[in-house]
Structure 1
Amino acid sequence: MGNRVLIVDDAAFMRMMIKDIFTKNGYEVVAEAADGKQAVEKYQEVRPDLVTLDITMPEMDGIEALKKIREADVNARIIMCSAMGQQAMVIDAIQAGAKDFIVKPFQADRVIEAVKKALA
C-alpha cells in the first residue's frame, strides 16, 4: 500500500494542516510545493503515491498541473483541494483525471476517506 504523499497548496498553513492529518494517519509526506509549476517538478523528482493539489495557485493552477502530471504519468493519483463554491473547477479536475476532491477547510475523516479511495 503506497503512502508517500506530495502536498501542493500556495498557503503554507493549509499545507501544514493537511500534512498534520497525513502524519497522524501514518502517511509519509515526501514533498511540498507552493504552486503548480513546483508540483510538476516535485512529482518527477519524488514520484509520490499520491498528490493533493490545490486548484487556485500562482504560476500554474491546479488543473494545469494535474494535466501536466498526468501527461508524465497516466497512473498518477491526484486529489484536488478546493475552497467552497468551485464546483465547475472540480468537475474540470475530475474530467482531467483527478481521483477525488476535498473541500477546505479540511476535515480529517474526509481527507483520509478520499486518500483511501484514491489509493485503492
Structure 2
Amino acid sequence: MRELECDKRMSHRFTVAIVEDNYWVGKLLESYSEQCGLKVICIVSDGEQFIGMYNELQPDILLVDIGLEGNLDGITMVQSLRGAGYRQKVIMVSGTTNIEHVLTSFHDLGSVYFLSKPVMLPKFQAAIRKAIDEIQLERSQFIEVPKPKSATWITVKNQKSTLPISENSILFIEKEDKRLTRIHLMNGAQMASSTNLSDILAQSSPFMFSPFKGFLVNMRHVVSYVKESGFPTSRRFLIHLNHTAVKVPLSRNLQKEFARLLLETQ
C-alpha cells in the first residue's frame, strides 16, 4: 500500500491511544495512525484497564470503539475520563447504526469525529486532521487546557456491573438504606450504587470526609459551612457545596477536624 502523504499539520509527533477490542481493527488503526505521523502509545481492548493506564499515558488523541471487553463500553469509559477532567481529543470508531450512540458521542463526550466501520483511510485522515487542527488552534491562541492531577478512581457497583468514577467528579454521597447509596456528581447526575460508604471511603483520598453519619463529602467542592438555623436546639452545621443547592449536615463533634481539612484544600 502506498504510504500516505501527510501534510505539515501532521509533522509533529502527536500521541494516540487506541481502545479497540477487535485485534485486526486495532492493527489497522495503528497502521493508519503511523502513516499520519502519529505515535501510537498503546492498543488496549478493555476500557477499565485503559482508565488505570491513563494518568501515565496522557495521549493527545483517543481512538475509541464503543463495544469493548470488560464492564465498560467506550461511551462510559470516555464519560468517566471527562468526569475526571481529562479533555483530550476523542475520535469514536464503531460499526453501530444506533443514532443515540452517535449523538451521545458528540453532545455528551465532545468527540471531534465519528468513524464508521469499516474505517477507510481518507475518512481516518480527515478525522485526524480535525483533531490536530483543534489542538494546534488551542495552542496558537494560548488556550489553557487544564491538566488535572492524577485522578483517584473509585470503583462502585452499579446494577450488575462495576463502574470506575473519578473522585474529583463526586460532590457527596449519602446512604439511603442498608443496601443503597446515592452518589451526587458535579454535572448534576446521580447514581445509585450497592457499594457501602466504608468500601468507598477505603478507596478514597483523605479529601473524602464523613461529616455526619450516612454521608461522605468531597472537601474539594466545599464552599463554606454555617450553623443550622431554624432549630434552636440543633447542634449541627450545614455544608455548602459548589454545583448544588443541597446542604450536607456536619456534626458539631467533627467541626474542628472538618475546618482543619477545609483549610488544607484551599
Query: What TM-score does the superposition give when structure 1 sets the normalisation length?
Result: 0.90
The residue aligned with 1:48 is: 59
In the other structure, the counterpart of 1:69 is 81
Distance 2:26 2:53 in 1: 15
Once the two structures are overlaid, the 10-residue window that deviates more, 45-54 or 72-81, is 72-81
Q: Distance in 2 between matches of 1:6 and 1:68?
A: 16
Q: 1:86 to 1:35 in 2, by over 3 A?
A: farther
* Partner of residue 102, structure 1: 115
Q: When you count strand as a share of all residues, which structure comes out higher?
A: 2
Per the TM alignment, residue 116 of structure 1 is displaced from its structure 2 partner at its CA by 1.4
Report the Cα distance in structure 1 between the residues aligned to 2:90 and 2:53, rounded to whole angstroms: 14
Are 1:25 and 2:22 counterparts? no
Q: 2 CA distance for matches of 1:71 and 1:17?
A: 30
TM-score between both structures, scaled by the size of structure 2: 0.43
CA distance in 1: counterparts of 2:60 and 2:116, whole angstroms: 21
Matches of 2:13 and 2:108 in 1, distance apart?
22
Which one of 116, 128, 134 corresponds to residue 115 of structure 1?
A: 128
* Contact persistence 1:82–1:90 (CA under 8 A): no
How far apart, in 2, do the equivalents of 1:76 and 1:16 lie? 22
- Structure 1: gaps of 5 or more residues: none
Q: Deviations over 1:6-48 (max 9, x none)?
A: 0010111110001000111211101111021122223222100
RMSD: 1.5
Residue in 2 that maps onto 1:58: 69
Contact 1:5 1:27 (C-alpha < 8 Å) held by counterparts:
yes
Distance across 1 between alignment mates of 2:132 and 2:50: 19
Aligned mates of 1:77, 1:38 — CA distance in 2: 19
Q: Distance in 2 between matches of 1:32 and 1:43?
A: 12
Please, which runs of 5 or more residues in structure 2 have no aligned partner? 1-11, 134-266
CA distance in 2, matches of 1:119, 1:40: 23
Alpha-carbon separation, structure 2, partners of 1:23 and 1:68: 28
- Determine helix, strand or coil for the equivalent of 1:85: coil
Residue identity (%): 25
Q: Number of paired residues?
A: 120
